[in-house]
């Protein structure tokens, strides 16, 4: 392999990669991708919202924030048996990983957390890789999850540090980093990426990638999301993210974090198969799919549609002997 994993990136270097003529950028990313991954293999993950809506946070993009008037129905923590039924179906449908999301600000040491621990154990017993996204986490809570068999924890940066306050006022960027550190210290793999289309500048996108790519260990999984414009949220009228912006972001992430799984996450529902093919060409090698045709609370292509796309593009689900990170959008 020629490409080295680097943790000493400078912002100007990443900006120069991001600003290249698009075809040159995609060519470079595709080349790096082939050094580190099999380009025909795409990781297939299933995501289930185990507790929906009613969140006290004010993330401007999120329909689950209690303060916005959206059509999303609040749902208390699902019973463990129900979650395990979904996990079994996901496994039967070909997923090797199962990700559980709860719309919480942070994990509290209460009965609900005990139930999540049970869910993690149960999904692990099914032989699936288990991922969670539950909000902020202390190191002790991370250790409990790890001991229960949690493999990956998702905690997205969302955007750059300097743009963060424009999008969320109820927590700070540094708190995101604290949780990611707690997850790392507990020996759980990290899934962390962000969203484009929030009104951020190209410089903000590059800054977010810089934060990820200069971590002492790169997140094993990097979701790149296009804003899903949810009616009732402050960002509902933002313009649709142009496909070339997604391709540019994915390609840059691929080049600066060559070993990571880069996930084409939210936004696929608004993309044609050809547009998704560009994202795979640029180095994306993971998607969420599933029986329910939703990604948490927003629409997502279903499993059969995705398997048809795989067939058309000559792709196949990634089957790994060793576990690797997977989690939320």
Q: Enumerate the active-site residues.
A: 55, 59, 62, 99, 131, 191, 263
Q: Angle at the Cα of 187 (from 317 to 321), degrees rounded to 5?
A: 30
Q: Is 66 exposed, middle or buried (0-12, 13-18, 19+ CB in 10 A)?
A: middle
Q: How many CB atoms lie within 10 A of CB 116?
A: 26
Among 14, 44, 48, 62, binds ligand SF4 (CB under 6 A): 62
The answer to whether 64 contacts ligand SF4 (rule: CB under 6 A) is yes
Closest CA to 39 of 282, 289, 311: 282
Among 55, 128, 206, 266, binds ligand SF4 (CB under 6 A): 55
* Closer CB to ligand SF4, 62 or 84, in the complex: 62
Rule CB under 6 A: say whether 179 interacts with ligand SF4: no
Query: 257-289 in b/e burial notation, b at 16+ Cβ within 10 A?
Result: bbebbbbbbbbbeebeeebbbbbbbbbbbbbbb
When asked if residue 159 is in the footprint of ligand SF4 (CB under 6 A), the reply is no
**Chain-centroid distance, C-alpha 228:** 13
Which pairing describes strands 316-317 and 298-299: parallel, antiparallel, or unpaired?
unpaired
Examine residue 297 and tell whether it contacts ligand SF4 (CB under 6 A): no
Smallest distance, Å, CB 277 to ligand SF4? Answer: 29
Shortest reach from residue 296's CB to ligand SF4, in Å? 8
- Smallest gap, in angstroms, from Cβ of residue 139 to ligand SF4? 20
Give the nearest distance from C-beta 157 to ligand SF4 in angstroms. Answer: 12
What distance in Å separates the CA atoms of residue 194 and residue 185, rounded to the nearest whole number?
22
The CA distance from 65 to 44, in Å, is: 28
Q: List the binding residues for [2Fe-2S] cluster.
A: 99, 131, 191, 263
Q: List the binding residues for [4Fe-4S] cluster.
A: 55, 59, 62
**Positions in the binding site for ligand SF4 (CB under 6 A):** 55, 57, 59, 62, 64-65, 103, 105, 135
């Amino acid at each position: 392999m020629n490409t080295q994993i680097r943790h000493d990136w400078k912002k100007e270097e990443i900006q120069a990669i991001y600003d290249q003529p698009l075809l040159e950028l995609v060519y470079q990313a595709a080349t790096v991708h082939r050094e580190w991954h099999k380009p025909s293999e795409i990781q297939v993950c299933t995501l289930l919202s185990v507790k929906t809506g009613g969140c006290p946070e004010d993330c401007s993009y999120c329909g689950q924030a209690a303060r916005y008037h959206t059509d999303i129905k609040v749902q208390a923590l699902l019973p463990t048996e129900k979650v395990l039924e979904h996990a079994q179906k996901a496994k039967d449908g070909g997923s090797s990983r199962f990700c559980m999301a709860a719309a919480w600000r942070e994990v509290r040491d209460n009965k609900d957390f005990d139930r999540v621990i049970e869910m993690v154990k149960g999904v692990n017993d099914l032989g699936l890789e288990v991922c969670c996204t539950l909000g902020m986490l202390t190191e002790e809570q991370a250790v409990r999850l790890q001991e229960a068999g949690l493999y990956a924890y998702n905690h997205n940066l969302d955007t750059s540090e300097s743009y963060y306050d424009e999008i969320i006022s109820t927590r700070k960027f540094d708190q995101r980093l604290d949780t990611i550190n707690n997850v790392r210290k507990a020996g759980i793999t990290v899934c962390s990426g962000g969203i484009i289309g929030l009104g951020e500048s190209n410089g903000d996108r590059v800054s977010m990638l810089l934060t990820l790519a200069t971590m002492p260990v790169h997140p094993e999984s990097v979701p790149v999301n296009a804003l899903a414009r949810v009616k009732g949220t402050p960002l509902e009228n933002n313009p649709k993210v142009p496909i070339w912006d997604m391709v540019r972001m994915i390609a840059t992430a691929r080049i600066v974090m060559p070993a990571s799984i880069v996930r084409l996450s939210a936004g696929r529902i608004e993309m044609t198969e050809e547009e998704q093919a560009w994202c795979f060409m640029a180095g994306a090698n993971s998607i969420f799919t599933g029986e329910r045709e939703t990604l948490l609370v927003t629409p997502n292509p279903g499993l059969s549609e995705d398997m048809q796309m795989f067939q058309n593009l000559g792709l196949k689900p990634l089957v790994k002997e060793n576990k690797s990170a997977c989690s939320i959008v």
